[in-house]
Amino acid sequence: GATLPRFALAPACADEDARETAAGLATTIGLGGTVIGTQVGALVIDASGYPAAFLLYAALSLTAALLALPLGRALRARPLAI
């Protein structure tokens, strides 16, 4: 364990099949989100044009920030359970 980085220690202790399954699921989820986001963006632009799509993306970004900032403050104020 002393020769491995800390982030690699847990995967090194897991079964090889479990590591491969986790890597496959993470890749599928990551790429699936990218593909779905691109397709939805194309549909929004086709349906309403670029100006409306930019306004929609700005509204969604503002909403996400308004939700994430209080959550981040609450998590930062709470002591870490180690």
Q: What is the pLDDT of residues 15-57, one digit of tens each?
A: 888 878 888 888 888 888 889 988 988 998 999 899 988 998 8
CA angle 23, 26, 4 (to 5 degrees): 45
82/64 Cα distance (integer angstroms): 29
Token pair belonging to 54: 């930019």
pTM: predicted TM-score of the whole model, two decimal places: 0.47
CA 57 to chain centre: 17
60/77 Cα distance (integer angstroms): 26
